Structure 1
Amino acid sequence: MRGRGRRVGRAARKRRQKSESIVQSASLCHQPQYVKLMRFLHQRGFTSTLLQPALFSDTGRGLQALRNVKTGHMLISLPESCLLTTSTVLDSYLGQYIKSWKSRLSPLLALCVFLVCERHRGEASDWLPYIDTLPTSYTCPAYFTDDVMSVLPIGVRRQAVEQREAVREMHSSNQEFFRSLQPILSQPVAEVLTYEALRWAWCSINTRSVFMSHPPNDFLSGQDIYALAPFLDLLNHRPDVQVKANFNDATRCYEIKSISGTLRYQQAFINYGSHDNQRLLLEYGFVASSNPHSVVYVDTDLLCEVLRGDRSLDQKIKFLRDNNFLHNLTLSGDGPSWRLMTALRLLSLPQTLYQQWKAVLLGQALCEERERWSVQTAQTLCQRLLHDTHRALEKISVLLQRCDQSVREQLEVVRSLRQEEKCILGGCLETLQGSRRQSDDTLPCQPDVDAVS
């Protein structure tokens, strides 16, 4: 009886594990906001019935295929009349204010202001059916608290701070233009075009717009490449999916054709590009599981800290910077990148061999001792990054115990990034340890008196 009980237990566990691995979905098409959205789009010429909004247990909101989508078939075709672009803004009540303003606005600012004003107008807004389907907040760095910022990898943190400051600068530097819009607002400008409102609009555009090049005009400055695409922007990203997306000048529609295909009742995905998870977090506010493009970056500050004993380090760092070799120094589960190892090989050379520095960047091989030093230094960098990741994960666990829901969502995204980096660095260490050419008790090479000790 005990033996049979064990078999039943294993079977129950397998069934439970299988059910947990199956993605569950629930249609959203009958919810009021999506009924209004589809009515709004149908009035503007959108007729597709291939996809429907749905809630998925793994990704949240997305689009579900109602029938099989074969390779090369059209996934979605959204008429130009459904797209929200700067042309929409310039043709609206905002157009006269933008066209007459003393300096030209950026396309991004024009779109941001339009979104904020349309949300403010409420039922009077033509675009309310779309605005009502937009998230009310985002898990992008522009929303991050200081606590969340503190647990980001250092390179991501630097870019996240820049993003947050860019939004603040956009808000603070355009106050005079905002005040000029008072005649079209039913409340004081300071209560409508707030920093929080502009941040929401900025993130809506940055995370949800599709690329669409527009011809330059006399009223806006800078590259105009944004188009908000209602319904289409419900499509989620998956790294292994292939699609062809572009605006078709002949049909005047923004079209997405499936290259990978999609099965009936499965979630339809698109691909935002070959982005690692750090870029996905910075630009879109999420990380993708099993992302083949993900790596861990080695920051210049970490290089300098690990190699601070080298008296010629400043000169070497300058040489690497001048030759564009301080960017994209990465570690993956397969080991250090070629760029990182090349940089480390140069850093292993003494100043007396300056004439060889350029040759090393071009791929010249080094002696076994210097190669061994480079591998061991890569291992040290990996260990330092792994230690930082462990500390960040511990801090995140503490913060999660005393935060509100909005901060919790931010922390969960960062935790996913950090957990992935933990796996990458662990795999990298194994690779480096396997490639070492001598036992662990061998001392690092000391090529010259001015090289790293």
Structure 2
Amino acid sequence: MTSPGYDARMVAESGVAKSANMTLSHEVPFADLRRWLKQKGFSSKCLIPASFTDTGRGLMATQPIKANELVISLPERCLLTTSSVLKSYIGEYIKRWKPPVSPLIALCSFLIAERYHGDTAEWSPYIKVLPKSYTCPVYFSNDIMDLLPLDVRIKAASQKEQLEELYFSSLPFFLSLQPIFAEPVDKVFTQDAVRWAWCSVNTRTVYMEHAQSNFLSQEKDVFALAPYLDLLNHRPDVQVHAGFNELSRHYEIRSVHGCKKFQQAFICYGPHDNQRLLLEYGFVASGNQHSAVYVDLGTLKLCLSETDSQLHQKLLFLKDNDFLRNLTFGVDGPSWRLMTALRLLSLEPKQYSCWKHILLGAAVSQDREDWCLHKALMLCQHLCDDNSTVLSKISQLKGGADGARLEQLCVVESLRREERAMLERSEQILKNTLLSSSPWQPNRIKNMEY
């Protein structure tokens, strides 16, 4: 949530950035940004803005960056924080508002106000290079929301509700800012404007702890918008050291392995799976080794027999022991949690005493293990079929889409394609395991249904 942002761009299929199509340094918005930052004490000769064929805009190394060398060092006065906001023209309104607004609302309000004031705004050079919209799910229409996997769809719907609640609860404060604007403030602080500012903060800020202000709510203040630095794109396998240097008063990013000349410089937000990357940042990383496909309870029940007299008790036992969450298929096949849950579900009535031992990793008989592998394969194939169905729908919808809607469909398509590839790999792993299981006969598995 508080890592540098990413404009719905995907990492290359190979996991390595391709050559830049063109540099962006001489385009007016980026030239103005660099000039403005230089006035604040920052310049970067080793990294320049560029447009890449696989990720869109990013930063290209103009010279080799060695291992453990600084990639970027941004002075504190270049960072947009709540301290910056409180010192600005909007600060007096925040300071006298009761109850105090949150650090997030303070930053969002300032971004919206600066965007409204255009060229006369102090932070205009930065505002102008921010995305005009985002591909985070809070921007999705209902029909695109329906294309998401169930678990991320539920989280996205909750995120939308929270944002709407944030807007209406903050509306009285927004209205108090009327003296700053020449037109009615409700025309400036629209739901769409707050959504844009909220996404700008949540997708593009770096983590930086601040002292608690008496003028803001008690929510933790860890936001810092970092111009230029936030042009760095994410790659899951990259290692960096990032943080605010209290001695130099700079926010610094240091590369662990370095970067070759004319390649794109990357950072890593953390070991996030693709669902989290989409939900929080609005993009999907291809070949993400941290990614997984989640099995929800409804899908799990599809492979279970209602004739099992202990099914309800088994599911309740799994829930009480937190084993109905994070059941996944990953790059190495079904997760240990998923197989453990299936092992317990496979047990016959006379094996009740084994339940706790199974959750602790105890082995089951060969026939029960075969049953689990068979059910895991059923789940995998069901999820794979679901992904294929959704991908067909997306292909149809893309035919008549353009602009922001097309970008949203493309990012959901990327998520579904990545998940289908992972499921196909898991399916092959399970088939190979079943073939090597001795003895294994489909008819014997069929006879194990309760």
Name the counterpart of 1:355. 353
1:446 Cα deviation after fit: 6.3
Aligned with 1:164 (options 160, 164, 167): 160
Name the counterpart of 1:223. 220
* Amino acid of the structure 2 residue aligned with 1:433: K
* Amino acid of the structure 2 residue aligned with 1:429: E
5 Å-filtered alignment, 1:205-354, equals 205-220=201-216, 221-307=218-304, 309=306, 310-350=308-348, 352-354=350-352
5 Å-filtered alignment, 1:9-408, equals 22-220=18-216, 221-307=218-304, 309=306, 310-350=308-348, 352-408=350-406
Q: Cα deviation per residue 1:107-140 (whole Å; 9 max; x = unaligned)?
A: 1121111111111111221000000000001111
1:349 Cα deviation after fit: 2.2
DSSP 3-state at the match of 1:92: coil
**Is the Cα–Cα contact under 8 Å of residues 24 and 48 in structure 2 kept in the other structure?**
yes
1:205 Cα deviation after fit: 1.1
Q: Cα deviation per residue 1:192-238 (whole Å; 9 max; x = unaligned)?
A: 11010011111111111111111222222211111100000000011
Describe the shift of the 1:317–1:107 C-alpha distance in structure 2 as closer, same or farther (beyond 3 A).
Answer: farther
**Is the Cα–Cα contact under 8 Å of residues 238 and 271 in structure 1 kept in the other structure?**
yes
Partners in 1 of 2:359 and 2:141 — Cα distance? Answer: 41
1:49 Cα deviation after fit: 1.6
Partners in 2 of 1:315 and 1:187 — Cα distance? Answer: 62
Name the counterpart of 1:8. none
**Is the Cα–Cα contact under 8 Å of residues 246 and 254 in structure 1 kept in the other structure?**
yes
DSSP 3-state at the match of 2:154: helix
Describe the shift of the 1:333–1:386 C-alpha distance in structure 2 as closer, same or farther (beyond 3 A).
Answer: same
1:341 Cα deviation after fit: 0.6
**Is the Cα–Cα contact under 8 Å of residues 68 and 264 in structure 1 kept in the other structure?**
yes
Partners in 2 of 1:385 and 1:305 — Cα distance? Answer: 11
Greater shift, 150-159 or 252-261, is seen at: 150-159
Name the counterpart of 2:14. none
Q: Cα deviation per residue 1:135-176 (whole Å; 9 max; x = unaligned)?
A: 001111011111211111111111111122221111122211
**Is the Cα–Cα contact under 8 Å of residues 72 and 253 in structure 2 kept in the other structure?**
yes
Name the counterpart of 1:18. none
Partners in 2 of 1:440 and 1:239 — Cα distance? Answer: 41
Larger RCO (CA under 8 A, 6+ residues apart): 2
1:358 Cα deviation after fit: 1.5
* Amino acid of the structure 2 residue aligned with 1:442: N
1:301 Cα deviation after fit: 2.2
1:22 Cα deviation after fit: 5.0
1:431 Cα deviation after fit: 0.7
1:183 Cα deviation after fit: 1.4
1:40 Cα deviation after fit: 1.2
Describe the shift of the 1:388–1:413 C-alpha distance in structure 2 as closer, same or farther (beyond 3 A).
Answer: same
- Structure 1 gaps, min length 5: 1-20
* Amino acid of the structure 2 residue aligned with 1:286: F
Partners in 2 of 1:247 and 1:399 — Cα distance? Answer: 44
Partners in 1 of 2:225 and 2:40 — Cα distance? Answer: 15
Greater shift, 314-323 or 216-225, is seen at: 314-323
Name the counterpart of 2:13. none
1:421 Cα deviation after fit: 1.1
Partners in 1 of 2:441 and 2:426 — Cα distance? Answer: 17
Name the counterpart of 1:16. none
- Structure 2 gaps, min length 5: 1-16
Name the counterpart of 1:444. 445
Partners in 2 of 1:410 and 1:292 — Cα distance? Answer: 23
1:64 Cα deviation after fit: 0.7
**Is the Cα–Cα contact under 8 Å of residues 333 and 426 in structure 1 kept in the other structure?**
no
Partners in 2 of 1:304 and 1:189 — Cα distance? Answer: 51
* Amino acid of the structure 2 residue aligned with 1:422: R
Partners in 1 of 2:85 and 2:431 — Cα distance? Answer: 58
**Is the Cα–Cα contact under 8 Å of residues 370 and 440 in structure 2 kept in the other structure?**
no
Partners in 2 of 1:177 and 1:317 — Cα distance? Answer: 47
1:80 Cα deviation after fit: 0.6
DSSP 3-state at the match of 1:247: strand
Q: Cα deviation per residue 1:402-453 (whole Å; 9 max; x = unaligned)?
A: 1232111111111111111111111111111111124553242766xxxx63
Partners in 2 of 1:314 and 1:101 — Cα distance? Answer: 53
State the identity as a percent.
52
1:363 Cα deviation after fit: 0.7
1:387 Cα deviation after fit: 1.0
DSSP 3-state at the match of 1:174: helix
Greater shift, 121-130 or 433-442, is seen at: 433-442
Describe the shift of the 1:373–1:45 C-alpha distance in structure 2 as closer, same or farther (beyond 3 A).
Answer: same
Q: Cα deviation per residue 1:275-328 (whole Å; 9 max; x = unaligned)?
A: 111111111111112211121111122113432514433332232222222222
DSSP 3-state at the match of 2:251: strand
* Amino acid of the structure 1 residue aligned with 2:333: G
Describe the shift of the 1:183–1:22 C-alpha distance in structure 2 as closer, same or farther (beyond 3 A).
Answer: closer
TM-score, normalisation: structure 2: 0.92
Name the counterpart of 1:7. none
Q: Cα deviation per residue 1:354-413 (whole Å; 9 max; x = unaligned)?
A: 332111111111111211111111111101101110100010011011123211111111
TM-score, normalisation: structure 1: 0.91
Stretches of 4+ aligned residues off by more than 6 angstroms: none
DSSP 3-state at the match of 2:265: strand
